[in-house]
Amino acid sequence: MSKETNRVLGHADEADGIEEYDNPLPDWWVGLLWLTVIWAVGYGVWYHFIADKSQEGHLAAEMQAAEVQWPEQAVTAVAFAITPEAVAAGEAIYTQNCLMCHGAALEGGIGAALNDDEWIHGGEAEEVIRIITEGVPEKGMLTWGPILGPEKINQVAAYVLNRNAELTGN
Ligand code: HEC
């Protein structure tokens, strides 16, 4: 309990006649204050040095856990190669699925032209495979990954790249 001294500070003349008592704070209150001060020091040491709760540490730990749970998958899950077989198989896939937007001669139309050196998303095999797999849904290019699967996507990419090389002379 507080020690009530009921001592008056005696500056009523400066405060419109209002008197102020000088009563110390209750011991339990002061005790609580010191407890929080001591706690804060201990918690600070634990947080920064013992448990390392820094944002960097947190992120690194989460990334590591995510890496274990969802290992990075290669875009080309199936080996990619421009072979005559792949190109032939790819042509059939192209005619069935892609021709109506990209044209019989890869000249484009609804879809982007694939018969020139201009690539919106890059003309490397990996980039072409990625864009066919993931699509550009907001532009009308479907996400073909789940529809065709990696092998057929590799084949149609082989056809597109092979035909593109023929047309551009690259
Ligand atoms: C419904 C129309 C449509 C169909 C069908 C379609 N595409 Fe597309 N495609 C598009 C559009 C539109 C774009 C341009 C996306 C953009 O502007 O980012 C595109 C872009 C592309 C690109 C990237 C071109 C670049 O310049 O980077 C490739 C590669 C591609 N399509 C291949 C294919 C293949 C292979 C198929 C068949 C499996 C296919 N597309 C079917 C509409 C289509």
**Beta carbons of 155 and 93 less than 8 angstroms apart:** yes
Write out pLDDT tens, residues 66-111: 988 887 665 555 688 899 999 999 999 999 999 999 999 999 999 9
CA 148 to ligand 1: nearest atom: 38
144 close to ligand 1 (CB < 6 Angstrom): yes
Residues 6+ apart with CB under 8 A from 91: 159
Q: Does residue 110's CB lie within 6 angstroms of at least one atom of ligand 1?
A: yes
Domain boundaries, the chain: 12-69, 84-168
The answer, yes or no, to whether any atom of ligand 1 lies below 6 A from the CB of 131, is yes
Q: Mind listing the pLDDT tens digit for each residue in 141-152?
A: 999 998 999 999
Closest CA to 29 of 1, 63, 64, 7: 1
Closest CA to 29 of 58, 67, 2, 59: 2
CATH number of 84-168: 1.10.760.10
Interval between CA 101 and ligand 1 midpoint (Å): 7
